[in-house]
Structure 1
Amino acid sequence: MNAKKNHITLFLVILAIGISVKNIFTNFNIDSAFQLVMDYRWAQGDHYFAQMWEPYMMSTFLTAPFVKLYLVLFHTTTGIVLYMQLIGVLIKAGLTLVLYKFIAKHLEDVSLARAMAFLFFLIYPKDLPFAEYSNMEMYFTLLLGLTLFAYLQSGRKWQLYLSALWMCCLVLSYPSNLLVAIAAFFVLVFYGKIRDALLFTATCVVAGAAYILLILRHISFARLKESIHGMLAIETSHSASFLDKMWLYFLDAYKYALLFLILHILTYGIAKLFLDNGRTIAGDIAGFSVTTENSRAAGPTTALGFNRIAINCTGFAVVADSFFLIEAVAAAIYVTLYQGKYTKFAYALLLISLMMTGFRYRKLLSDKSKMLYRILSIFSVLNFLSTILLTNLNLAASFPYLLIGAVAALIPMSNGVRAAKETAIAGDDLGDVKTLPANSNYRISALCRFTAIIVFGFLVARSCILIQPLSGEIPTLFQIRGLVKHGPATGIVTSYMGAYMQNESYAEWQDLVPEGSKIYLVGDAVDVLGYLYKESEVAGPSTVPTPGYNDSIAAYWQQNPDKYPDIIVCSCWYGETALAPDDWMLRYLETTYPATTVVDGKYWRYYIR
């Protein structure tokens, strides 16, 4: 048995390595480039709020030191993309190992630990291995949950302080995760002592205050307020009102709710046929909530202490949920194949399905397992809510932020499967209660294995086939036609146009942009990787690919006259700029910016002073 488990583990490790290699070379897009350029600014010495008015600049604390190290060692940006992709995979692998060891130690279930670790490693919220802010949310949500649980089990104060550190890192990754901090406070009150909650909060406040003081070393408080105002004015892609966003989310949510209702109706019909006699116990759906402790006093028990009547209920539940997950996979495959622009909804279907399924078996858990499950699930849901408060993504594209909750759902699901495998054998004297057919044990076990293969098989196939290109629609691995041969993204394989535009733009910049120039890239959905084509200085307030252009940019240059650009480069398509005729930036370029030379390239227009 141990040899078989070792072989399974080895197979999963080899599979994970293969997927990681593929992701490193194929999954890099405009969001990854944005994070990389923010890291580059920090490495060059730009300071938060003083020179950097980036909406996600605080998230550079994890990756920027790696960019600095690369620049110091190699004195070039060539190849830096593959290097940072590798760093992202290694960080995820390290956290996966932590999760595996933690579950194997605290819950004493190696099979569960293996499944949770593999699911965590397999999924990225944006399908990007780069350690950008969406992945960092997953990193620190997981670390916070595990460390807080460890403290509540052991009472060691250093674990409480470490939890507070992870909480601070989570807020830096995405500020609205203050919601998670509130949840952490009440978790400590509920499971520990009010003193623990206050100490946790005080540690977070002290660490946050120290961080603010570090920022104020480079900027006055008055100027800090001006910078925040300017940053919010430039960042227009997240400017929709709260009520407007909630209405759009509601319009999305009711469609998903209808889909899940249909899946559940199909599920119970199929499960009834599968078990022949179907729901043999009146009110068997209530069996989902039968606790282990209560069931022991209710009648005959199995070797593991599960009440046999409850097991009949659980057996039906496991069969029903197995078919539910298989149906969710079928729907996800349809979305992936025929609704390409909704490809993230494939993740949404499975992650939500896993969370719903796990929730139904929560009361089969021991107190210890239930605590960990609750902590991770609550943090994950609030993590998701924190994200949709600020993001400009639709609801389907935001659901992958429930990753930690889906991973936690495997804890109660594993208990449900164990209970179902102990299904009572027909003929036992359980009064008037009918039992499941004699071969149910085998059939349920086989169905559970089949379901696991289907769910993980789909996730593996999706991770292997879909890529995140540098530009254009999301293609598959079989549609890759281009290789980036020069510049920071050297070695990336992507769509034909993505690679062609990188190679052509890089060659063009070598002729037109002098080394060490101060550059500002403008346009609509700007490819900010251009900042790294040469050793240049970012000469604008923000490198966000979709900024709004207004008087705040001129105010930035008044605050930072040393950041006034030598060259403003506007994205274009063979002479046609990406800016609207009445855009503030285009008017500024034509009437105010002292350009002595204007050169039209293939994909850029260069205003050189």
Structure 2
Amino acid sequence: MRNKTRLLNILNILLIILTILAALKMLFFGLGLDEEYQVVMAYRNARGDRLFLDMWEPHQSSAFLCSLLMKPYLKLLGTTGVVLYLRVWGTFFHLFISLYLYMVLKAFVRKEYARLLAFIYFNTIPKLIILPEFGIMQVWFYTLLSLFLIRYYTDGRKVRYLVLAALAFALNVLSYPSCVILFPFLLLSLFRFSGREKWRDMGIFTLVCTLCGAGYLGILFTYTDPKELVNTLSHILSGDITHSLSLREKLLSWLRDILRLSVLWAGCRLFALVFSIHKKPDAAKTYCLTLMAACGIVLFYWGVLKVGYPPMHIHLATAAAAGLIARAKARKIQKEAASKAENIPLFLHATTGAILSLLAVAYLTDLNLMESIPHAMPAAIYGTVLLILTLEQKETRKPSGWLLVMLTAWAFTAVFGKGYTLRGGAGNEHVLQSGGIFREGPAAGIISNYIAAYIYNSDWEDWQTYLQDGDSVLIMVDQLSSLGTIQYLFKDVEISHFSIVNPTAYDERLPEYWTLYPEKFPNVIIVDCWYGELMTDPGNWMMRYIEDEFGYTQVNDGKYIRIYRK
């Protein structure tokens, strides 16, 4: 017994140390397109560009948090190091929510389980982006929403928790507008659990959400009007080329991913059954072995195949499935431990809501279903709580060994993914490929692969040579090139494109945008060009516009960019 206790203590200490190291890695390693997109979008808003008027980005409603955090930093320090600054804030938010998750869950499951689930939550990062980006913000606010509702129904029905849940839902919708589909589901949950107070609770929740929506529209209508807002929304929808799949194509993609997930899950389940074939079947052992096998698959993808973080998250799907399957046995647990069983429906609804959130995200995102699974991370957490409530009997004095082993294995898997892997792409799959550092500018202090860092630093130097504060600049990016929109923060310049999402459209909509907002007309256009060799199609619309209509008077070649100046 003492040896087991000592081993658990050692593992806990090791988990804490590795978690700290993984958090530091998230602060200092890698810079991806979506992170760059969120930073530049928030920067536009922080320096005065108006939401749904000057800005036509499809995710701009999520810019509020980064924009608020940026404003004091920009006034004090400018843009240098702003990415690292936002990552520190994101880490703080994620830690706070993880601790709050622990505080809530320990009232329903043993502290050992709640602690490990909090570690798992803290070490699971959607898209491996820790600054307040729309993906992780959606997870944060859904987690808070569900935890506030759980507290409301289990802690004396204090109205403040219901109000906080409604506020969290409003922020969830701002982070990912398609999550508005959760509203009827949440009303159904209130109807289900509030009993005699159901109409009052539904009314309070609806009123708070309505006031939040009206307040947001009121802010927008201080500088625009309904007709202009509708026109801008039309421009946003027509100008977004990042989500070009039809509903049919998305459904086919989802079906392929669901089939792949099903095959992998069946393999994990078969492994668990074969492993315990010589012994009496044990539900806890079978579920735990299934999830541990899923963790093994994930580690194989991350550590051996080295495909980067996003492509494989079967362990999260397996955890959610385990809880939902275990729910079918809830009648048995109701007889043995009614005090625990009465909480099962709450966590079932929380799990279901997280799955609906995944569908909302998957509909709008350009990621496939497998890569989107971390957006339903709360489903994995709550599904595991369902599993524990089903398996743990009231009279059990000690935690289940199998559950502890499974949660520990899952926690270390999450730490490995967070601490070792990167977003993916050529030469960007894991931290050992990192050999350069961004020396100046918004990403100063960030470690990346050698060539990415070299190009970034070279472009920074060229900006200091050829561009001036006050220039109106258009950067032509196409996702595949080395040129990124983060360069808009290299100088105090006006951003001349209607949308800084990468990739974005370069066509007749640009002159239309400049007609609407003449102050946005560029006097500088930057294209991808390596040592004098143009890296974009000279026959595309943008290059034809530069040659035929822009009227440039000066051309300068940096190492990796070409600057046309009017």
Would you say same fold, with TM above 0.5?
yes
Structure 2 matches for 1:539-554, cutoff 5 A?
Answer: 539-554=496-511
The residue number in structure 2 matching 1:373 is 347
Pick one of 226, 229, 232 that aligns with 1:224: 229
The residue number in structure 1 matching 2:240 is 235
Instruction: Encode CA deviations 1:338-394: one digit per residue, 9 max, x unaligned.
Output: 544474243x21101111222233324724431431232022101100011111111
Structure 2 matches for 1:116-131, cutoff 5 A?
Answer: 116-131=117-132
1:167 Cα offset (Å):
0.8
Q: Using the alignment, how far apart are the partners of 1:459 and 1:157 within structure 2?
A: 35
The residue number in structure 2 matching 1:62 is 65
Pick one of 264, 285, 288 that aligns with 1:322: 288
Structure number with larger C-alpha Rg: 1
- 8 Å CA contact 2:309–2:422 kept in 1: the answer is no
Q: Using the alignment, how far apart are the partners of 1:247 and 1:87 within structure 2?
A: 38
Are 1:595 and 2:525 matched, yes or no? no
The residue number in structure 2 matching 1:529 is 486
| TM value normalised by structure 1 | 0.84
Structure 2 matches for 1:410-489, cutoff 5 A?
Answer: 410-416=384-390, 418-419=392-393, 446-468=401-423, 472-489=426-443
Are 1:50 and 2:53 matched, yes or no? yes
Are 1:580 and 2:531 matched, yes or no? no
Instruction: Encode CA deviations 1:304-363: one digit per residue, 9 max, x unaligned.
Output: xxxxxxxxxxxx1112122212221222223224544474243x2110111122223332
- 8 Å CA contact 1:103–1:113 kept in 2: the answer is yes
The residue number in structure 1 matching 2:98 is 96
- 8 Å CA contact 1:524–1:578 kept in 2: the answer is no
Structure 2 matches for 1:46-445, cutoff 5 A?
Answer: 46-74=49-77, 76-104=78-106, 106-107=107-108, 109-153=110-154, 154-192=156-194, 193-273=198-278, 275=279, 278-279=280-281, 316-341=282-307, 343-346=309-312, 348-362=313-327, 363=330, 364=333, 366-416=340-390, 418-419=392-393
Are 1:519 and 2:493 matched, yes or no? no
3-state DSSP of counterpart to 2:563: strand
The residue number in structure 1 matching 2:337 is none
Structure 2 matches for 1:485-496, cutoff 5 A?
Answer: 485-496=439-450
Instruction: Encode CA deviations 1:73-126: one digit per residue, 9 max, x unaligned.
Output: 22x21111111111110111111121122223x326322321221111001110
Q: Using the alignment, how far apart are the partners of 1:378 and 1:235 within structure 2?
A: 30
3-state DSSP of counterpart to 2:343: helix
* Aligned-residue CA RMSD (Å): 2.5
Instruction: Encode CA deviations 1:43-74: one digit per residue, 9 max, x unaligned.
Output: 10111121111111110111211111101122
Structure 2, gaps ≥5 residues long = 335-339
3-state DSSP of counterpart to 2:130: coil
1:11 Cα offset (Å):
5.1
3-state DSSP of counterpart to 1:481: strand
1:202 Cα offset (Å):
2.7
3-state DSSP of counterpart to 2:491: coil
Pick one of 41, 46, 52 that aligns with 2:44: 41
Q: Using the alignment, how far apart are the partners of 2:302 and 2:14 within structure 1?
A: 26
- 8 Å CA contact 2:460–2:490 kept in 1: the answer is yes
- 8 Å CA contact 1:149–1:371 kept in 2: the answer is no
1:184 Cα offset (Å):
0.8
Call closer, same or farther: CA 1:449–1:421 in 2, change over 3 Å. farther
Structure 1, gaps ≥5 residues long = 280-315, 424-440
Call closer, same or farther: CA 1:323–1:112 in 2, change over 3 Å. closer
Q: Using the alignment, how far apart are the partners of 1:149 and 1:168 within structure 2?
A: 18
Q: Using the alignment, how far apart are the partners of 1:594 and 1:182 within structure 2?
A: 54
Which 10-residue stretch deviates more, 573-582 or 193-202? 573-582
3-state DSSP of counterpart to 2:114: helix
| TM value normalised by structure 2 | 0.90
Instruction: Encode CA deviations 1:222-251: one digit per residue, 9 max, x unaligned.
Output: 222222222222211102211111112212
Call closer, same or farther: CA 1:50–1:603 in 2, change over 3 Å. same
Q: Using the alignment, how far apart are the partners of 1:447 and 1:187 within structure 2?
A: 33
Call closer, same or farther: CA 1:368–1:575 in 2, change over 3 Å. farther
Q: Using the alignment, how far apart are the partners of 1:107 and 1:322 within structure 2?
A: 19
